[in-house]
Amino acid sequence: MTALKICVFGSGSFSTAMSFCLAQKGHQVVMLARSEEVARHVNEQHRNPRESVSFARLPDNITCVTSAASALEGAAYIVHAVPVQFTLEYVGKLRELIPPTTPIISTSKGIHSETLELMCDLYPRALGRAAQPMAFVSGPSFAKELLTRQPTALVVASASDTLAREVQELFSSSFCRAYRSRDVRGVEIGGALKNVIAIAAGVVEGLGFGKNTQCALITRGVGEITRIALKMGGEAETLAGLSGIGDLMLTCLGGLSRNAKVGIRLGQGETMAHILDTMPEVAEGVPTTRAAVQLAAQLGVEHTPIMCTLLDILDGKMAPKDAVEHLMN
């Protein structure tokens, strides 16, 4: 593949990991950051100073800028790694700079807390146009492990087979293998709702319960995710694959998940307000929990006890220990 310029929106841990993967093919990768300090570190020291990824030396073909015009000029692809809840405002400010034919590759996972939209609905609205070519990347992929070149498998979903193949080629390397899917909604809902179940699994761990309890909750959580996905037009096969069960297992049991850590801290007795105040990065599962419960009600999916109980915990209406007893009965 010919070396291309690829713009990556965001400079967090996953933005950095995506940039690292794309740079393996020799592409010119330009990260768009808000912080001049981050941009300077990336350009001069070839490291992102964020604590979670500062260990990784970045290839010389990754640069970082704070000018959107500079980042986007001549970009063949745009990789969006900004949290879902901030996407509408973020893209709204940039849409005049984004050509209508430039493919957007979204790696953000979640449901918008106010509109209940997935990224496949939210992004076209933010751009003000429906025809933008888009692909969605998901699957079990911790940033830290990608940055240490550990073998990883991803899923690329798109309504366009041609674009899916292009993105598959962009991300494929000696340590990263990408699979194609046409089930955009199934891939997106799996990626969004696994964060909700991960918080619940973290609560169980924080309370001191073992793997019997965690695995029971995770398995029942798969059922809740699948019921919602099917109502939205997703496919059961997708939820049984990398972007469903695969991503769910990693997020619940992998030890590096921000969402699971939120749950662990809740189970150990910390308040939600204190947890959010002391988290260095966004845990998408927190706003997604309320959105998931509302979405399930909107779709007529009645049986989502784990998600509903977790929402009560997050809202302070139920103590974590009482929640386990409630679910068992």
Tell me the C-alpha to C-alpha distance, in Å, between residue 269 and each of 27, 197, 273, 298, 308.
46, 19, 12, 32, 20
109 is catalytic: no
Handedness of CA 244, 247, 253, 258 (dihedral sign): negative
| C-alpha–C-alpha distance, residues 2 and 121, integer Å | 31
Tell me the C-alpha to C-alpha distance, in Å, between residue 281 and each of 52, 83, 103, 171, 265.
10, 10, 27, 24, 15
Closest CA to 196 of 88, 115, 82, 294: 294
Could you tell me where the DSSP H helices lie in the chain?
Answer: 13-23, 36-45, 68-72, 84-94, 119-127, 143-147, 161-171, 184-206, 211-231, 236-239, 247-253, 258-267, 272-277, 285-299, 305-314, 320-328
Closest CA to 206 of 51, 328, 324, 326: 324
| C-alpha–C-alpha distance, residues 117 and 291, integer Å | 9
Catalytic site residue from 144, 194, 211, 317: 194
| Cβ neighbours for 230, distance < 8 A, ≥ 6 positions apart | 236
Active site residues: 194
